[in-house]
Amino acid sequence: MSELNHEELKEIIKEIDSEKDNRYRWLSHLAISIAFMALFTTVADTFSDKLNGDSAGLKADSVLLRNEATNHWTYYQAKVLREKMYDIANSLQERDQFREKIDQYKSEKADIRKKAEKLDEESRTKSDLSDKMYKAHRTFAFSIGFFQTGIAIASVASLTHSRRTWYGSIAISLFGLSVVIYGLISVLIQEIPLW
């Protein structure tokens, strides 16, 4: 056996310290990347939850407006029937009071129709916005799966000390981030209120 001299021992200790520093640095980078993945997951989840809640609220509002519009249309039909009854009565025996009622119902019908059409339009607008919000919610919810997968794979990388596995977790999380960016762009383009 050959003896190691003092300089060779210093060199071996220096290599071991350098290896420890590299491993510590790598584990620090890995921990930071996991923290960012968790942050992106939280952001995507916040957007997803907000859009889902707002979508449900708008859909409920839309249904209520639709119901109110239906009530107005029913009322409108009742006025149509009354007008027709007076019109028939007037055609059998003309009277001024029949003509007055016919004119009254025509006027009332016009007002009721305007209200019903306005409610129908408001209902459609809210329903359309709700559908857009729900679609955006699903995009953000989709991205969460990628972030969670990236975190799980990064955790495996920390246990196995495998840089390739860590790089894979970063790639998966970057795809998740691209889905979030796509979701934000679509929200901005469609002018969907996010906050």
Q: How far apart are CA 172 and CA 151, in angstroms?
A: 9
**Whole-number Cα distances in Å, 53 to 103, 131, 141, 144:** 47, 12, 13, 17
Average pLDDT, the chain: 90
Helix pair angle (163-189, 6-92), 10° resolution? 30
| Residue-level length of the chain | 195
CA angle (34, 142, 124) in 5-degree steps: 140
Q: What is the pTM of this model?
A: 0.76
Name the pLDDT band for 88 (thresholds 50, 70, 90).
very high
Tokens coding 94: 């003309």
Q: Is the pLDDT of residue 9 over 60?
A: no
- The tens digit of pLDDT for each residue in 106-122 reads 999 999 999 999 999 99
Tokens coding 71: 């009530």
- Non-local (6+) Cβ contacts of 73 within 8 A are 116
Q: How far apart are CA 36 and CA 150, in angstroms?
A: 11
What pLDDT sits at residue 16? 65
What pLDDT sits at residue 24? 74
- The tens digit of pLDDT for each residue in 52-85 reads 999 999 999 999 999 999 999 999 999 999 999 9
- Most confident by average pLDDT, 1-5, 21-25, 139-143: 139-143
Of 72, 27, 57, which is closest to residue 166 (Cα–Cα)?
27
Q: How far apart are CA 52 and CA 14, in angstroms?
A: 56
Place of tokens 């050959």: 2
Task: Please answer whether residues 191 and 54 qualify as being in contact, where contact means their C-beta atoms are separated by less than 8 angstroms.
Answer: no
What pLDDT sits at residue 44? 96
What pLDDT sits at residue 168? 96
Query: Hey, where are the domains in the chain?
Result: 6-189
What pLDDT sits at residue 27? 86
Q: Residue 131's Cα: distance from chain center in Å?
A: 9
Task: Please answer whether residues 33 and 168 qualify as being in contact, where contact means their C-beta atoms are separated by less than 8 angstroms.
Answer: no
Q: Is the pLDDT of residue 41 over 70?
A: yes
In a 13 Å sphere around the CA of 154, the CA atoms on its Cβ side amount to 26
Q: Could you please report the per-residue DSSP string of 113-147?
A: HHHHHHHHHHHHHHHHHHHHHHHHHHHHHHHHHHH
